[in-house]
Structure 1
């Protein structure tokens, strides 16, 4: 592996970023980058729109919205036009995930106190349930790159000690999502039609945020199986479970590179001895609303866990949710540009950097009405020309896309 370049402070002035965020148009310059904004969609109330997912041909975005009072799955064009409700029913339909071939949209649906994974065609036909199980928890379904399988996490078959058993309560507005001490989610895979559902992990701890290898044969994920958050990898048949990271800090949000050579992730491991001491002090300060240090950076490692390098090493905090461009040249992620001592800290921004770690650029420069600002998941269009995410800079959460291209 070639030794990574040291992060440079210069900006790539050849890159132009055009943001599509309908009614408001603004043009500004951020660190030499040009950002123009047009509102894609104006959500009607507090919950707004969330969880964007691109169609295989990069012409549409699926997302979840509470426009009708319930959460439903919608699709729209990349300019915000053609907004269509696909599910329009009394259920909480959320977290859509478009299949690579564009034929299906898988999503979560919660009714009567339980959650299942459903799928629907982009025209609203073919609505079916892929899982039928009285589980309290499922995660967003993640399609394999070849489109034949779906990875997800669920507490459906968890067998915790008796004292950790869930306490069922009637489902109603205001009822807790997970009453009592619910079993922790485990990792599963199934075929695209819901058959062949297979449990891959067996422990009493959290397993989540799965990411597929490009050949669709392995899955990387984060787990608390050893007491803190670490990155693991497992074969699609459940064999070869391996811990790739092993330290006293949190390693989270793995993302496999398109060529399969690297896994990006976020970690709060101390960068220096001073950083370690600051982190330990942070654990003891009551005003900080977290049990772990807040200074996360983006790291890169090889799929066997070797060659770990800090790729950002910046003064921003909470670098998380790395997302590779389809050609593997860029990594987008979210971060907080200023020190945060409470939950009412600075707003999140979306950053972009080259794979080598150079040309780190804040492409949103958030000046939000509330503290959250911009947030992931950050998703690239399959053609690599856009990224989509959720912005709260105008108050109500909205889907924003940013078009990225190099005029040369």
Structure 2
């Protein structure tokens, strides 16, 4: 049975105070907190296994290599990739997107078209703009509506035989909207286009099955999933990963090097140049173990309960507007108080120990669509509580009283 009181004991940071108040951490869409079980794995690595991997014959190197590759298998199983070598370690979602964008520089030509959605994080906009500048391809945008949902009919009209790539986030970091990626993938494949899904915001809340989705590329970050910063993975179908050229040159990604010619290693090492974040990869595996032990069905149900509770409580405040009202959304609420800048609200909440994110959330086109400078974003995780939401609501009321 899901007991949030027991789960909270796993997260040491939740017991600290900020500005003399108990910490209420509602910035989970930016970075989730880390349970003691994962912290222990990190400490254990540096205490007992710290060595470079794949290259050493000594015991420490072999032990570290085994742990690192075991984590790859855990990640493969979690996302249901067909092969472990389809899991490429990266520094995070942004790295994975740039790796794919760089690879397609060799595959696109002038007149080709790529499609991105209006709901994207800057990390899933800028690399494709750079790709278009390099190749002469054209960037098309799936529009959104006032509910923060994609206009799927408009997307279908954008698709044609020139469409080579489609990029969309699974869940919007700014609004919490859950996009119909299964339909998007199916329609894109009908015209022969590849699809990359940004799973940074979905992976903490649901358990994507990349084979069932038939997605070509899927990217995630460990720090959204109770893991450490600086590590993530790119899933790519084997055929696509074999088509793409290496992203970086260096050690580990080579088969043979001479001054006349270099040949590249097989997957996954072809894309993993240099010394990786070994501890990060091992800890990512531990974080996935932890979240699966809690259970993603239980996480989804509890977080939906938090979302509904917070939405109803916040909407009782006169002059408060929520942005992103899709029927299909996750535990993110972006809002503003009429006539008050979101930064000012966030500053007052911080004084009360409540951590929220303010600004455009690296999704400036969304803010431009709503004609606002930004929002206050409260994002909930499975270790948050309704009593913490009550503290948030009282803090927003106080901010309104002080700033109106």
TM-score, normalised to structure 1's length? 0.24
TM-score, normalised to structure 2's length? 0.24
Looking at CA atoms only, which structure, 1 or 2, has the larger radius of gyration?
2
Task: Report the structure, 1 or 2, having the larger helix content.
Answer: 2
Bigger RCO (CA 8 Å, 6+ sep):
2
